[in-house]
Structure 1
Amino acid sequence: MAEQQQHVVVEQAVSPPLKEELYNLQPQEIEFFKQQTGIQDDDELKRHIIDVQKEAYAVFPYTCIRRFGFTVLKISRFPAYQELLRLGKERPGALFLDIGCCFGNDIRKAVADGFPVNQAIGSDLRQQFWDLGYKLFKDTPESFPVPFIQGDVFDPAFLSPTPSAPPDTPLPPLHSLKTLTPLHGRLSIIHASAFFHLFNEEQQHTLASRLALLLSPEPGSFIFGAHGGRTEKGFRTEDRFGRKREIPMFCHSPESWTELWEKDIFKEGEVKVWTRLIETKRPEPGESSPGVSHLMLAWSVTRL
């Protein structure tokens, strides 16, 4: 937990101010938020989202909050998303965990598209973001009864690093869980986006090994997501305008990411890894620089 907090403190010291002009929802995102919130007026919806954004940025100034990343329906863009929905319908009791879930926007998208609401779980370091999710989407723990488990995945008291076989006894009610450890070997799907790149190489290895313990041994169970990547693994030292980053970001390449999961975290032949580098350019209103290209690594790890 100390490592995660140390990273957070440094980022907070250099956080830029909010800019309303970064608000730029696409038609399908506007439709989703109108459906979820009941707010039909475009200007009113914009004011509502910005108000929640300000509260969240005061909790912790993540870049994805500043840039309205929580309004992007990113989970549904992954090839693995349709498999998530299929498992939810066809595998009895299939459990889905969104780790680093923030407001719970990706979980709400999956539930809206048909994933069983009583088989989804959210987890994050900060309870405040999940609570703000109710405000953002104008729902409640009763109308959106997905359990949230607060904690630090690097804390062994929250997620044990010791392997254990799935117990023969039934899993306690999800709402009664206080840690992720009881979910060892229980999860059919794990989603982790904009999460791994918050940590250095050693921490990313630790995170991967702990998430692997949560994955069900049943073939077809999978982990998926996206985060910063490079053509060759190493540190990204520039920000989105080509300036030197205060904290270099460690990024895997498709090859190193595949090797990590297929040869290190799991035994050879246990999983199949899919990866794709996606180039993005993010200019910012009011900046003279047009921005520089960044690579995102989209991926999935599926049990064979």
Structure 2
Amino acid sequence: MDRIKLPLDENLWDALQIDDGPELEYLKSQTGIHDPDTLKKHIMAVQAKAYEYSPYFCIRSFSFARIRIHRLPAYPAVMSLVRERPDAIMLDLGSCCTHKLGLKLLDTYRSNLVGTDIRKVAVDGYPLQNLLASDLRREFWDLGHELFQSTPGTFPVSFLAGDVFDPSFLTLASVSTSTSASSTPSPALSNLASLTTLNGQTSILHASNFFHLFDEQKQTELAYLLAGLLSPLPGSMIFGFHVGREKKGWRRDILCSGRQMFCHSPESWIQLWESIFPKGTVRVEAVLQKQGEYHPSLLVSEGPDDGVMVWSCIRL
């Protein structure tokens, strides 16, 4: 089905309610633009360019300008882990995927299209050389530089474009049962040609607004792929959020012309991850949030069973 392309609406900026407080101060500090009106015009100019690439709802609603990763329950553990293991690699997985929905190709549907969250991680002290962003397309990453008025020189976080379901980009690997560090030196992220090199070496993997793009079979396949990337060391984790339901099944996604979206429940999501890793080697938590704290637009739905599932899978 075709994605709905509504006209841009300046009033949606006011609906975000970030005209004061920490989020606005963050945007000011990262863009270098301190006048609120000038900042708003700058963000709208980037929004218009992004909307021409693809008319995603998260672009129209300005959600790409919000930071959410620091609100996730697992985030303090992320920062604690990197203090203990300064060389820990973190991968922010966007929508490194191409998946057929009807006759159309769905490439990405993220509130973090321009790298907003990974920039927050960097600001909070994560070593830049150990951060990697990956998405299907580079255009939005480049727009992130425009939004935050940075360059690859001033913000040298590596970016790798590719399709996570393409075996030439990410080869499925067995889940490691070892609890010791790999003897293989960590690769230089700026030199990577594919994600396969990171199998078994990724300490932190963030995947938000991602899994709900696919049907149940593809979500399972994706979970196995990400599990293969994860380091066996205790504390290594995969975490994020996406649309969920109280009972797993299909829901109608109003934002994409009514296409069907498969959603796990917290119970089925926990069961999936526990079936991938050896028993007793991970702690999986998943909670369904009915409020729009993480992504208000995702709660545009057809029934009361829908919500945003906030989750983590952490190595023990």
- Give the TM bin, normalised by the shorter chain: 0.7 to 0.9
Change (3 A) 1:251 1:92: same
Question: Root-mean-square deviation (CA), in Å?
Answer: 2.3
Equivalent of residue 49 in structure 1, options 32, 43, 66: 43
Instruction: Provide, for residues 119-143 of structure 1, a one-character-per-residue CA deviation record: whole Å limited to 9, x for no partner.
Output: 1110000100101110000011011
- Calculate the TM-score normalised by the size of structure 2: 0.84
In structure 1, distance between residues paired with 2:85 and 2:76? 14
Instruction: Provide, for residues 270-290 of structure 1, a one-character-per-residue CA deviation record: whole Å limited to 9, x for no partner.
Output: 211111111136999xxxx99
Q: Does 1:277 align with 2:292?
A: no
Instruction: Provide, for residues 85-142 of structure 1, a one-character-per-residue CA deviation record: whole Å limited to 9, x for no partner.
Output: 1112221311111000521110100111111111111000010010111000001101
Equivalent of residue 72 in structure 1, options 55, 66, 75: 66
Change (3 A) 1:212 1:11: farther
Q: Does 1:102 align with 2:113?
A: yes
| Other structure's SS at 1:185 match | coil
Partner of 1:222: 237
Whether the 8 Å CA contact 1:283–1:290 is kept in 2: the answer is: no
Letter in 1 for 2:186: L
Matches within 5 A, 1:10-29: 10-12=1-3, 14-23=4-13, 24-26=16-18, 27-29=21-23
Q: Does 1:249 align with 2:243?
A: no
Q: Does 1:131 align with 2:115?
A: no
Equivalent of residue 163 in structure 2, options 152, 159, 180: 152
Letter in 2 for 1:179: S
Whether the 8 Å CA contact 2:282–2:315 is kept in 1: the answer is: yes
Q: Which has the higher helix share?
A: 1
Partner of 1:39: 33
Unaligned runs of 5+ in 2: 95-111
Matches within 5 A, 1:231-246: 231-237=246-252, 239=254, 246=258
Unaligned runs of 5+ in 1: 1-9
Alignment: residue pair count: 286
Change (3 A) 1:194 1:164: closer
Aligned identity (percent) is 48
Whether the 8 Å CA contact 2:175–2:277 is kept in 1: the answer is: no
Instruction: Provide, for residues 235-292 of structure 1, a one-character-per-residue CA deviation record: whole Å limited to 9, x for no partner.
Output: 112537xxx95211111000000000012x22221211111111136999xxxx9997
In structure 2, distance between residues paired with 1:271 and 1:283? 30
Letter in 1 for 2:259: I
Q: Does 1:303 align with 2:315?
A: yes
The farther-off stretch of 16-25 and 51-60 is 16-25
In structure 2, distance between residues paired with 1:262 and 1:290? 29
Shift in Å at residue 80 of structure 1? Answer: 0.7
| Other structure's SS at 1:280 match | coil
Partner of 1:7: none
Whether the 8 Å CA contact 2:158–2:190 is kept in 1: the answer is: yes
Letter in 1 for 2:73: P
Give the number of the structure with larger relative contact order, counting CA–CA contacts within 8 Å between residues 6 or more apart: 2
Whether the 8 Å CA contact 1:188–1:221 is kept in 2: the answer is: yes
Letter in 2 for 1:252: H
Equivalent of residue 93 in structure 1, options 75, 87, 90: 87
Whether the 8 Å CA contact 1:121–1:148 is kept in 2: the answer is: yes
Change (3 A) 1:173 1:113: same
In structure 2, distance between residues paired with 1:60 and 1:167? 41
Whether the 8 Å CA contact 1:25–1:72 is kept in 2: the answer is: no
In structure 2, distance between residues paired with 1:167 and 1:38? 41
In structure 2, distance between residues paired with 1:197 and 1:150? 20
| Other structure's SS at 2:38 match | helix
Shift in Å at residue 72 of structure 1? Answer: 1.8
Whether the 8 Å CA contact 2:239–2:311 is kept in 1: the answer is: yes
Q: Does 1:209 align with 2:224?
A: yes
Matches within 5 A, 1:154-193: 154-163=165-174, 168-193=183-208
